[in-house]
Amino acid sequence: MSDAPKTINLLIAALGGEGGGVLTNWLIDIADACGWHCQSTSLAGVAQRTGATIYYLEFMRRDGDNRRPVMSLFPAQGDIDIALTSEIAEAGRMVSRGFISPDRTTLISSDHRVFGITEKTHMGDGAADRDLILAMSARYAKRFIHFDMAELVKRHGTVISAGMLGALAGSGVLPFERQAYEKALQSGGGATANLSAFSDAYERAARGGVGVVDPAITPEKEAGFVLPEPRTDAGRALLPIIASLPAPIQEVVYYGAQKLVDFQDTAYAMTYLQAVEGLLAIDAPESSYESTREAARWLALWMAFEDIPRVAQLKLRPSRDDSLRQEAGIGAAEPMKVSEYFHPRVEEVASLLPRRIGEALLRSRVMRKLVNNALGARQLRTDTIVVTLALRGMAALRHVRRHSLGYHHEWRMITAWLDAIRNAPDPEVARALVDCGGMVKGYGSTRHRTTSRLMLIVDKVAAGKATTAHAIHDLRIAAMASEEEQPFQSALATLSP
Amino acid sequence: MAERSFVEEVKKLRAGEGDVFKGEGILAITKALLQSGVSYVGGYQGSPISHLMDVLNDAQDILGELGVHFEASGSEATAAAMLSASINYPLRGAVTWKSTVGTNVASDALSNLASAGVTGGAMVIVGEDYGEGSSIMQERSYAFAMKAQMWLLDPRPNLTSIVDMVEKGFELSEASNTPIFYMMRIRGCHVTGEFEARANVAPAFSNKTPVVPFREPEKIILPPFVYAQEREKIAQRLPAAVDFIKTQRLNEVFPGRYEQLGIITCGGSYNTVIRALERQGLADVYGTSEIPIYCLNVAYPLIPDELVEFCVGKRQVLVLEEGQPEYIEQGIQTILRRRDVQTRVFGKDIMPMAGEYTGQVMLQGVTTFIEACPGEPIPLRLGASAVAALETPVSDEDIAELMVSLPPRPAGLCTGCPERPLFSAIKQLQAELGPFHISSDIGCHSFATAAPFNLGNTIMGYGLSLASSSGVRHALPHKAISIMGDGGFWHNGLTSGVTSAVFNGHDGLLIVIDNGYSAATGGQDIPSLVEPNLIATTLDAKRPKREQWQPIEDACRGAGVKWLRTVSTYNIEAMKETLRAALSSDEPGLKVIIAEGECMLNRQRRIKPMIKQAINSGKRVEKARFYIDPETCTGDHGCIRISGCPSLTIKENPDPLRLDPVSYVDNSCVGCGVCGTNAHSAVLCPSFARINVVHNPNGWDRLLDRVRRGVRGWFGRREQRRLERSSL
pLDDT band at B525 (very low <50, low <70, confident <90, very high): confident
Asked whether residue A226 carries a pLDDT value surpassing 60, the answer given is: yes
Contacts of B254 in chain A (CB under 8 A): none
Residues B415, B670: contact at Cβ < 8 Å? yes
pLDDT for the residue numbered A53 = 86
Asked whether residue B540 carries a pLDDT value surpassing 60, the answer given is: no
Percentage of chain A exceeding pLDDT 70? 95
In a shared domain, residues A23 and A39: yes
Over the stretch B654-667, which tens digit does the pLDDT of each residue have?
999 999 999 999 98
Check the CA dihedral A348-A351-A354-A360 and report its sign: positive
Contacts of A315 in chain B (CB under 8 A): 629, 632, 686
Tell me the three state secondary structure of residue A342: strand
Any domain includes A3: no
pLDDT for the residue numbered A144 = 96
How far apart CA A192 and CA A152 sit, in angstroms, is: 15
Q: Beta strands of B481-575 (E only): which ranges?
A: 481-485, 509-514, 517-518, 524-525, 563-568
- How large is the average pLDDT for residues A388-408? 95
User: Which residues 6+ apart lie within 8 Å of B50 measured at CB?
Assistant: B2, B98, B521, B522, B524
In a shared domain, residues A75 and A211: yes
**Of residues A121, A257, A382, nearest to B640 (C-beta):** A121
Asked whether residue B100 carries a pLDDT value surpassing 80, the answer given is: yes
Pairing of strands B688-695, A336-342: antiparallel
Any domain includes A399: yes
- How large is the average pLDDT for residues B610-621? 90
How far apart CA B546 and CA B15 sit, in angstroms, is: 32
How far apart CA A30 and CA A32 sit, in angstroms, is: 5
Which of A67, A74, A347, A383 is the best residue to mutate to test the B interface, defined by the most B CB atoms within 10 Å of its own CB?
A74
Over the stretch A290-308, which tens digit does the pLDDT of each residue have?
999 999 999 999 999 999 9
Task: Tell me: cis bond preceding B656? Omega within 30 of 0 counts.
Answer: no
pLDDT for the residue numbered B711 = 94
Straight-line distance from the first to the last Cα atom of chain A, in angstroms, rounded to the nearest whole number:
76
> A61: which strand partners?
A36
Residues B105, B77: contact at Cβ < 8 Å? yes
How far apart CA A302 and CA A307 sit, in angstroms, is: 11
Over the stretch A448-474, which tens digit does the pLDDT of each residue have?
999 999 999 999 999 988 889 999 999
Residues B654, B699: contact at Cβ < 8 Å? no
**Mean model confidence pLDDT for chain A:** 91
Residues B230, B261: contact at Cβ < 8 Å? no
Which of the residue ranges A202-211, A336-345, B187-196, B532-541 would you say has the lowest mean pLDDT?
A: B532-541
DSSP A402: G
Residues B518, B542: contact at Cβ < 8 Å? no
Percentage of chain B exceeding pLDDT 70? 98
Check the CA dihedral A368-A373-A377-A381 and report its sign: negative
Residues A11, A17: contact at Cβ < 8 Å? no
Number of compact structural domains in chain A: 4
Q: Do B728 and A450 touch (CB under 8 A)?
A: no
Which of A85, A117, A251, A434 is the best residue to mutate to test the B interface, defined by the most B CB atoms within 10 Å of its own CB?
A117
Contacts of A434 in chain B (CB under 8 A): none
**Of residues B190, B272, B411, nearest to A74 (C-beta):** B272
Contacts of B681 in chain A (CB under 8 A): 377
In a shared domain, residues A280 and A381: no
**Mean model confidence pLDDT for chain B:** 94
Distance between B723 CA and the closest CA of chain A, angstroms: 7
Boundary (domain end) residue, out of A403, A418, A444: A403
Identify the H or E element spanning A472: helix A469-481
Q: Do A335 and B648 touch (CB under 8 A)?
A: no
For B573, name the nearest residue in chain A, comparing CA atoms only: A377
Contacts of B407 in chain A (CB under 8 A): 89, 115-119, 128
DSSP B546: P
In a shared domain, residues A74 and A197: yes
Contacts of A51 in chain B (CB under 8 A): 409-412
Contacts of A254 in chain B (CB under 8 A): 728
Percentage of chain A exceeding pLDDT 90? 77
**Of residues A72, A140, A336, nearest to B359 (C-beta):** A72
Any domain includes A193: yes
In a shared domain, residues A175 and A34: yes
**B167 residue type, one letter:** E
Any domain includes A386: yes
pLDDT for the residue numbered B538 = 57
- How large is the average pLDDT for residues B20-48? 95
Over the stretch A99-119, which tens digit does the pLDDT of each residue have?
999 999 999 999 999 999 889
pLDDT band at A497 (very low <50, low <70, confident <90, very high): low
Asked whether residue A420 carries a pLDDT value surpassing 60, the answer given is: yes
pLDDT for the residue numbered A49 = 60
Contacts of B133 in chain A (CB under 8 A): 43-45, 47, 54
In a shared domain, residues A389 and A415: no
pLDDT band at A231 (very low <50, low <70, confident <90, very high): very high
pLDDT for the residue numbered B232 = 97
Residues B317, B345: contact at Cβ < 8 Å? yes
pLDDT band at B544 (very low <50, low <70, confident <90, very high): low
- How large is the average pLDDT for residues A229-238? 94
In a shared domain, residues A348 and A432: no
Over the stretch B131-147, which tens digit does the pLDDT of each residue have?
988 889 999 999 999 99
> B318: which strand partners?
B263, B346
- Phi, psi of B526, deg, nearest 5: -130, 175
How far apart CA B173 and CA B153 sit, in angstroms, is: 11
Q: Do A232 and B727 touch (CB under 8 A)?
A: yes
How far apart CA A272 and CA A277 sit, in angstroms, is: 9
**C-alpha dihedral, B112 to B114 to B97 to B130, nearest 10°:** 120
**Of residues B190, B402, B634, nearest to A92 (C-beta):** B402
How far apart CA A165 and CA B145 sit, in angstroms, is: 44
Q: Do B657 and A255 touch (CB under 8 A)?
A: yes
pLDDT for the residue numbered A218 = 45
Residue span of the structural domain in which A489 resides = 406-497
| Cα B482 to Cα B498, B513, B653, B703, distances in angstroms | 11, 11, 41, 52
Asked whether residue B561 carries a pLDDT value surpassing 70, the answer given is: yes
Distance between B433 CA and the closest CA of chain A, angstroms: 14
Q: Do A338 and B414 touch (CB under 8 A)?
A: no
> A15: which strand partners?
A52
**Of residues B394, B411, B681, nearest to A98 (C-beta):** B394
State the DSSP string of A256-317: HHHHHHHHT-HHHHHHHHHHHHHHGGGS-TTS--HHHHHHHHHHHHHHT---HHHHHHHHT-
Contacts of B720 in chain A (CB under 8 A): 318
Any domain includes A1: no
pLDDT for the residue numbered B541 = 53
- How large is the average pLDDT for residues A437-446? 91
Q: Do B627 and A327 touch (CB under 8 A)?
A: yes
Helix, strand, coil % (nearest 5) of chain B?
A: 40, 15, 40
Contacts of B414 in chain A (CB under 8 A): 49-50
A23 burial level (CB within 10 Å; 0-12, 13-18, 19+): buried
- How large is the average pLDDT for residues B93-109? 97
User: Which residues 6+ apart lie within 8 Å of B36 measured at CB?
Assistant: B92, B121, B166, B167, B170, B201
How far apart CA A198 and CA A164 sit, in angstroms, is: 8
In a shared domain, residues A358 and A461: no
A 10 A CB-CB count for B16 gives 9
- Residue of A110, A82, A81 whose CA lies nearest to A204: A110
How far apart CA A354 and CA A365 sit, in angstroms, is: 19
pLDDT band at A359 (very low <50, low <70, confident <90, very high): very high
pLDDT for the residue numbered B189 = 92
pLDDT for the residue numbered A46 = 53
Chain-centre distance for alpha carbon A462: 35
For B701, name the nearest residue in chain A, comparing CA atoms only: A335
In a shared domain, residues A95 and A30: yes
Boundary (domain end) residue, out of A357, A387, A403: A403
Pairing of strands B648-651, B563-568: unpaired
Asked whether residue B427 carries a pLDDT value surpassing 90, the answer given is: yes
Any domain includes A2: no
> B459: which strand partners?
B440
Q: Do B412 and A314 touch (CB under 8 A)?
A: no
Which of B130, B399, B406, B721 is the best residue to mutate to test the A interface, defined by the most A CB atoms within 10 Å of its own CB?
B406
Residues B162, B23: contact at Cβ < 8 Å? no
Asked whether residue B5 carries a pLDDT value surpassing 90, the answer given is: no
In a shared domain, residues A26 and A120: yes
In a shared domain, residues A410 and A383: no
A 10 A CB-CB count for B532 gives 16
State the DSSP string of A225-270: P-PPPP-SHHHHHHHHHHHTS-HHHHHHHHHHHHHHHHHT-HHHHH
Asked whether residue B532 carries a pLDDT value surpassing 90, the answer given is: no
User: Which residues 6+ apart lie within 8 Å of B404 measured at CB?
Assistant: none
Enumerate helices (H) and strands (E) in chain B, giving the number of each. Answer: 27, 26
Which of B12, B521, B636, B652 is the best residue to mutate to test the A interface, defined by the most A CB atoms within 10 Å of its own CB?
B636
Any domain includes A73: yes
Tell me the three state secondary structure of residue A106: strand
Radius of gyration of chain A (CA): 29
ipTM of the complex: 0.94
Over the stretch B178-215, which tens digit does the pLDDT of each residue have?
999 999 999 999 999 999 999 999 999 998 899 999 99
pLDDT band at A57 (very low <50, low <70, confident <90, very high): very high
pLDDT for the residue numbered A213 = 42
**Of residues B360, B686, B707, nearest to A341 (C-beta):** B686
pLDDT band at B681 (very low <50, low <70, confident <90, very high): confident
Straight-line distance from the first to the last Cα atom of chain B, in angstroms, rounded to the nearest whole number:
61
pLDDT for the residue numbered B75 = 96
pLDDT for the residue numbered A216 = 46
- How large is the average pLDDT for residues B691-715? 93
State the DSSP string of B246-313: HHTT-SEEE--S-TTEEEEEEGGGHHHHHHHHHHTTSB-TT--BSS-EEEESEEES--HHHHHHHHTT
State the DSSP string of B666-701: -TT-----HHHHHHHHTT--TTEEEEEEEES--HHH
Boundary (domain end) residue, out of A190, A219, A248: A219
Residues B640, A118: contact at Cβ < 8 Å? no
**A425 residue type, one letter:** P
In a shared domain, residues A347 and A426: no
Any domain includes A187: yes
